[in-house]
Every structure is written in C-alpha cells, then in structure tokens.
Amino acid sequence: MTDEKMIQEFRRVMREEAEAVLRAAEYISDGAVVEVVRLLSACKGRVVVSGCGTSGVAARKIVHELCCVGCPASFLSPADAVHGGMGVLRAEDVLILVSKGGSTRELVTLIPGCKAIGATLLAVTENAQSAIATAADAVLLLHTASEPDPFNMLATASILSVIAAFDAVCICLMQLRGYRKEQFAVIHPSGAVGERLLSGKE
C-alpha cells in the first residue's frame, strides 16, 4: 500500500463511519426514541448493561455516560452473569442487552433470569426478529448497511451508531430531568472538565 492509497483509505473509512451514524439517526423511529428516554428516566433502580465483544465495549461506554448524567448504571459481564452475577439485578432495574445480530448466546442466556426477577428488558439490535428483540419490553432498532472493512465483518460503523444513539439518549435525559452543571461537578471534580465545572468557567 502506497502512502497515497493509505491516506485515501483512512479518509474513506472515517467518511463511511460518519455517514453510517447519520443514516442510523434517520432509521431510529420517533416512537423508539421517546420510549427509551422515558423508560430510562422513569427507572427507579439501576440500569444494567451487558454485551459481548465490541458490543461489550459499547456497553461500558453507555454505562459511563449514564452515570455522568446522574442515571446510576453498571456493566454486567455476560460470562459472570450466569455464574451468580445476575444477583445484581432487581425488579426495579432496566437491563439493556446490546447485540448487533440480537441472538448472541451469552446474552440470550440472561433473558430467563431477567424475566424471573421482573426487571425491564431493553434490546439494542439491528434485528427485530432476533431472540433479544422478541423477548424485550422495549427495542431500540439500529441499522448499518455495511461495515467499512474489506470483509464487512468488523463491528466499527455499527458500534459507533450504538454509542452515538446513547450519547443522544443521555443528553435527552439531562434535559428531561433538568440536570444541572452543579450536579455534574459533584461527580466529575477531576480533570479539565472538573476544573471548568468547579471554576465556573464556560
């Protein structure tokens, strides 16, 4: 690969991923947006998020963002969940399962426990007919036409759409709940963000 070809490929991938997020924003239904934001806003317990592989990485990002806007959340490892970790879940909680195909075996295994405990199940997937979608109380459907890698296999564009969608959910939650900078300063006192918050600088 020449330097010129490398630069072209680099920029192509970034453009395709940005376009995938824009298309995903148009694909998500208005009803799903309202349902998911209000579901999480009304949660009386904790939001528990689980996913495998790249979806697991996205799940951890979702957890962090929710915590940043005052919505208590935690990541549940699918492997640990079936060895007692499901004990963290309560009836007042929302369990979010993130899976592009929607039938990841490790996540499907969590569904009976979630139902038995009585927690609310939210599926985040591209497949409306998948196991997690059909079992869920609410579904956030996303769509990615293709991934930018040569094999259309790496979950890159698709996972950025998941992360962007939940960034949007979190910002909606902030506004719906009237979340203030003073509240954010309490939980984020360090780093450049904390310095700005505590100094009162914009």
- Output the tens digit of pLDDT for each of the chain's 202 residues: 899 999 999 999 999 999 999 999 999 999 999 999 999 999 999 999 999 999 999 999 999 999 989 899 999 999 999 899 999 999 999 999 999 999 999 999 999 999 999 999 999 999 999 999 999 999 999 988 888 888 888 889 999 999 999 999 999 999 988 876 665 665 656 555 545 545 555 5
* Tally of CB atoms within 10 A around 63: 22
- Residues contacting residue 163 through CB under 8 Å, at least 6 positions apart: 58, 61, 62
Contact (Cβ atoms closer than 8 angstroms) between residue 155 and residue 38: no
Q: DSSP letter for 200, please.
A: T
Q: What angle do CA 157, 160, 163 make, to 5 degrees?
A: 160
* Tally of CB atoms within 10 A around 136: 22
Q: What share of the chain is helix, strand, coil (3-state, %, to 5)?
A: 55, 10, 30
pTM attached to this predicted model: 0.88
Contact (Cβ atoms closer than 8 angstroms) between residue 65 and residue 170: yes
Q: What angle do CA 48, 32, 158 make, to 5 degrees?
A: 70
